[in-house]
Amino acid sequence: MSSLRGSLFTETFSFDGGRSVTAYVPPDPPEAVVYAADGGWHTERLAKALEASVERSSTMVVGVHGLEDDDGRLHEYVEGFGGERFEAFERFFVEEVRAWVASELDVGLTAERTAVWGASLGGELALAMGLRHPEIYGVVLCASPGGGFTPGDASLPSETPRTYLVGGTREQWFLDNASRWADALSEAGVDVVIEKRDGEHGGAFWYEEFPRMLTWVFGR
pTM score above 0.85: yes
| pLDDT of res. 153 | 87
Looking at residue 2, its pLDDT comes to 58
Q: Provide the pLDDT confidence category of residue 154 given band limits of 50, 70 and 90.
A: confident
* pLDDT tens sequence across 43-75: 999 999 999 987 667 999 999 999 999 999 999
Q: What is the 3-state secondary structure (H, E, C) of the chain?
A: CCCCCCEEEEEEECHHHCEEEEEEECCCCCCEEEEEECHHHHHHHHHHHHHHCCCCCCEEEEEECCCCCHHHHHHHHCHHHHCHHHHHHHHHHHHHHHHHHHHHCCCCCCHHHEEEEEECHHHHHHHHHHHHCCCCCCEEEEECCCCCCCHHHCCCCCCCCEEEEEEECCCHHHHHHHHHHHHHHHHCCCCEEEEEECCCCCCCHHHHHHHHHHHHHHCC
pLDDT at res. 27: 93
Nearest-angstrom CA–CA distance, 34 and 32: 7
Answer yes or no: is pLDDT of 170 > 60: yes
Q: Is 194 left (phi over 0), alpha (psi -120 to 50) or beta?
A: beta
Measured between alpha carbons, how far is 220 from 214 in angstroms, rounded to an integer?
A: 10
| pLDDT above 70 coverage of the chain, percent | 97
Band of the pLDDT at 219, cuts 50, 70, 90? Answer: confident
pLDDT given at position 220: 53
Query: Residue 158's pLDDT is what?
Result: 84
User: Is the pLDDT assigned to residue 183 strictly greater than 70?
Assistant: yes
pLDDT of residue 1: 40
Q: Which of 24-28, 57-61, 84-88, 106-110 shows the lowest mean pLDDT across its residues?
A: 57-61
Read off the pLDDT of each residue in 99-108 and give the average, rounded to a whole number.
96
Tell me the C-alpha distance between 38 and 74, whole Å. 12
Residue 96's pLDDT is 98
Report the b/e string of 56-91 with b at 16+ CB within 10 A. Answer: bbebbbbbbbbbeeeeebbbbbbbebbeebbeebbe
Predicted pLDDT at 12:
98
- Is residue 119 pLDDT above 90, yes or no? yes
Amino acid identity for residue 71 in this structure: D
Per-residue pLDDT of 77-98, as tens digits, reads 999 999 999 999 999 999 999 9
